[in-house]
Every structure is written in C-alpha cells, then in structure tokens.
Amino acid sequence: MISRRSVLTTTTLAGTALIAAPAILRGVSSPAMAKAPIVGTQGPSFYRYKLGEFEIIALHEGEFTRPLDASFVRNAPLEAVQKTLADAFLPTDKLTISFTAVLVNTGSKLVLIDTGFNDNGGPTNGRTVAAMKAAGIEPSMVDTVILSHFHGDHLQGLRNKAGEIVYPNAEIMVPEAEWAFWMDDARMAAAPDAMKGAFQGVRRVLAPSAKDVKQFKWGQEIVTGITTVDASGHTPGHTAFVIASGNAKMMYVADTTNTPVLFATNPEWKVMFDMDADKAVATRKRILDMAAADKIRLAFYHASFPATGFIAKEGAGYRFVPAQWS
C-alpha cells in the first residue's frame, strides 16, 4: 500500500519527466495538461437580433449575487421565494441578479439604453463596454444614451470612477420625472440616511452634465423609432421604451420586473427596490398583460442573458419564455 503523499509525489515526478521530454514530439504542452487553460470566467457576451430595419444588441453587463433573506420580497414568506427559485433550478440561499443593457442601431443612430456600472460596481459586472467592443462598437460611436431610471446599476456606468463620461459623443436623455425626484435638493436633505447615497450617486453622474441632459416625458418618440412609456412605480420616473421599425415592435421594460423568474411568476410580489410598490405591481401587471395579449417581444434588464423573450400567462402570473437564440 502506498500513501496519498507518495502517489502525489510520483504523479508530480512523472509530470515533470514528461514536461522535460521534447515538447515538439507531443504538441505544445505536456500531455498531463490540457493545451488551453481553464478560464473560469465568461467571455464578453453580446447578442444581436433583428427588429425590422433595426439591429438590437443585448450587452451583458454582468451580475450581482446577494444572500437571499426575507427582506428581498417584502410581501411573501422566504419559503415561498425559495420554492419559486427551486422550481427554476436555482440556488435558494442566494440570488444572482443579471444585468443586460440594450443597444439599438437604427441605421442612423446608435442608442444605448442603460449603462450598467462601468468601473463603479464589482468584479462580476461592469462589462457593458467590453461586450460592446466585442460587437465591434466603440463607446465613442454611441450617439445617444437613454436612462430608464436613476438606480445605480442603470446609471453609474455613464461616468467612470475617474469622473469621465464613458460615451463622449452621446447626447444624454433621461425621464423628466426621474430628474425631478433625484435632483431635488430638499428631497435629498429630507431623505433617510440610508437613501442619501443613492441621491449622491445620481448627482455624481449627472450634475456635471446637467446643462446638456435632455429630459423627456412619457408618450414621446425621443429618437426615431423609440417611444417612452410610463412604467413608474419602481421609481417615480421609471420608463419603458417601445422600439419600432416598420411593422416590427418590441418593448424594453427595464425594471418592470426584477428577475422574471420571481416577479413575472408572482407579479404581486414586491421587491425591496420598488419605491412605490403598489404602483409597481399595477405597472407590472399592465405591461405583462399587454405583452401576453400582443405576443410582443420584451427585453428585461434583469432577465438571464440575452434577456429577451416573450410573456405567457400562466396560473395567477406569467411565464417568461426566452427567445430562441439565432
């Protein structure tokens, strides 16, 4: 009988002996190792799809994993949340929230909707620019950046940590109601301490560009083919966008749901991030009902990449059906 240690030593010695053999006889590396390393991370991920004459490019910003506790869904027992996750073959002790921005190439303009974190987030996100570059587009080519709302995962990536605008040639378009809320000094002063950071974060990004930012109302075609839709509730100015080219139409619904696995399945559940949760529920049901009835393609910020698909009514809620990759 030989000890584990002696086996390891033998293996190591054998490996060394093989590496010392002429590499040219055996290919580029030792037969004890694969000729490509295990990378352990995803590559920059983008996904192109056609919408009439437009091309939509889903850009994988990344994700954030948080421990799952009872605070995440305000009005459902933790066990019910865990059951929904288990039914979707997901872990029940933590929740990975995905981020996917949307780039619209209208043929005359490159329009980015939502920006991710850039270098203001963590190690598992901030990949929007890398995904864009992998798709052949430089940030300097972007003509317009539209923000759906002013939560950090949508807005912080407009300006990097060093303070520079990431899309130097882009006009910036934001919801008027969102601007009114977050840029109100009195409201910031009155906000609970836990929320002051969110106000400050918005100002870090937008205050230096304040005079150039274009504010939009709902129901406006702000770029040819892109029309704003009131989706408030998640935040006061939270906006969805109908994107249309010819007869083809889709809707980017931003945070109308957080992950659809939980909140399409259970549209009445209130995620901790919904600022007016009752209104958010009403908005969610209105938009998902419309999507189910019209069979319109949706894109979500927090669905699994490429985060685009359809909504089917199912039971008391909805099922998100990812579009076929093509």
Q: If binding is defined by CB under 8 A, does position 249 make contact with its own copies?
A: no
Stretch binding its own copies (CB under 8 A), from 55-63, 147-155, 230-238, 262-270: 55-63
Please enumerate in sequence order all residues whose Cβ is within 8 A of that of 189, keeping only pairs 6 or more positions apart, or say none.
Answer: none
Rounded CA-CA distance 267/221 in Å is 28
Residues 154-173 that bind its own copies (CB under 8 A): 169
**Residues pairing with 294 in the sheet:** none
- Cα 246 from Cα 121, distance rounded (Å): 38
Stretch that binds its own copies, among 54-62, 192-200, 204-212, 229-237 (CB under 8 A): 54-62
55 in contact with its own copies (CB under 8 A): yes
Residue 187 in contact with its own copies, rule: CB under 8 A: no
Out of 9, 42, 209, 220, point to the residue binding its own copies (CB under 8 A): 42
Among 20, 39, 162, 316, binds its own copies (CB under 8 A): 39
In the chain, where does DSSP find H-type helix?
4-20, 78-87, 128-134, 152-155, 176-182, 185-190, 193-206, 260-263, 277-294
- Does residue 3 belong to the site contacting its own copies (CB under 8 A)? no
> Least distance (Å) from its own copies to the CB of residue 300?
12
Q: Measured from the CB atom, is 49 or 218 closer to its own copies?
A: 49
Of 238, 265, 255, 245, the closest CA to residue 320 belongs to 265
Please tell me the distance from the alpha carbon of residue 115 to that of residue 128, in angstroms, as a whole number.
7
Which residues in the 99-158 window bind its own copies by CB under 8 A?
A: 105-110, 134-137, 140-141, 143
The reply on whether position 247 binds its own copies by CB under 8 A is no
Q: Please identify which residue in 8, 14, 33, 210 interacts with its own copies, judged by CB under 8 A.
A: 33
State the burial class of residue 151 (Cβ atoms within 10 Å of its Cβ: 0-12, 13-18, 19+).
buried
For residues 90 and 188, which CB has a smaller minimum distance to its own copies in the complex? 90
User: What is the C-alpha to C-alpha distance for residues 249 and 307, in angstroms, rounded to an integer?
Assistant: 16
**Burial class (CB within 10 angstroms; exposed 0-12, middle 13-18, buried 19+) of 60:** buried
Cis peptide before 77 (omega within 30 of 0): no
Nearer to its own copies, 18 or 80 (CB): 18
Angle in degrees, CA 12, 15, 18, rounded to 5 = 150
Q: Which of residues 5-24 bind its own copies (CB under 8 A)?
A: none
Q: In terms of CB distance, is 109 or 279 closer to its own copies? A: 109
Give the residue among 158, 45, 30, 142 at the shortest CA–CA distance from 98. 45
Helix (H) and strand (E) counts in the chain: 9, 14
Considering only residues 13, 88, 207, 272, which one is a binding residue for its own copies as defined by CB under 8 A? 88
The answer to the question of residue 47 lying near its own copies (CB under 8 A) is yes
Residues engaged in binding its own copies (CB under 8 A): 27-28, 31-36, 38-43, 45-48, 50, 53-55, 60, 63, 87-90, 96, 98, 105-110, 134-137, 140-141, 143, 169, 261, 295, 304-306, 309-310, 312, 321-326
